[in-house]
Structure 1
Amino acid sequence: MRRLHPLLACLCGLLASRVQAQPPARSLGVTVFPVGAYVLSDTEGGREAGYSAGLAWSYRREASLLEVGGHVASSRQLTEATPMSLRITPPGPRRVRPYLGLGLSLMVAHALREEGATRSLQLGAELCGGFDVELGGGLFLSAEARYQNFSATGSPFAGERQALSSGFLGLGMHL
């Protein structure tokens, strides 16, 4: 038993130094998207297009395959947000990091399209994809495309749906 004490002490020392030497690398990224465009397709087949700007965030650990992100974007006609989406991305540090994600989105139209219409919060699903290119110094360029499918009424399970397709280019910073 006395022979195990030095061995256990060495093993504990090695494990403790290993744990202290490599804390998990985490990254919170905030991106400003000053350049964005969208196309909104309604239930009757009509389309509305415009320019948009947005703000996005993401949180990831270098060794993880998943990251959490979200965004808010606004234009003259509408504001849409995805508070949280789960994204799949390659683990580890990379100069170019692609991702693909799913989330739950919210949309509010600013202008009423019909005279009898009421403003309502519309719920829907989002599919997003994009990539970040590291520039150094904690800065990165970001490009993102999103497809969102919203209820045309206040009920998220209504059969009448409208689609919002959008693309954004921006500059981000790791905090």
Structure 2
Amino acid sequence: MSQVYLLRHAKAAWPSPGQKDFDRTLDTDGIEAARILGQELRRAGLKPEIVVCSAAIRAQQTLEYLDLEPPFVLEQSEKLFSGGPDAYLMAIRMAGLEHENASSIMLVGHNPMMEELAIALAGRGKPPSHPNFESGFPTAGLAVIQFDGPLAEIRPGTGTLQAFFSPSTHH
């Protein structure tokens, strides 16, 4: 039994002139949403053993404001910024191979990869029924998907959406 947490970074400010997309920071709404989501996770008793976070500033800040309870293994990944859904799936499998005893992982990344991966993993015939999810994967949205097998063997279409958190469900 394993769990994959797919977290899209919280709301970021638009880039200022000359600023790279990579360097965008969270705005005040994004900071608040990440804090609230962290509280929700603690309340629900959800805690990943491994966190793979995009190297982009807004993803790093989202993780920081989430304030996850230690201990967890933290890895930064440039591929979660520049790669497609396949890179995200590979990150899950590689972490599962490196940490065989771990049964939960959180990816902190970007759309459209998050949404595409969540839909692919949670089973093709039954897309998640959460209304916010169907209209896109919101910033600070978190899909928790459960699998029967270990992280290293996760394949598309084999997961079950266990929970979906988004800022609009917190208020």
State TM-score, norm by structure 1. 0.30
Instruction: Tell me which structure has the larger Cα radius of gyration.
Output: 1
Q: Which has the higher contact order (CA 8 A, sep 6+)?
A: 2
- Name the one with the larger helix percent: 2
- Name the one with the larger strand percent: 1
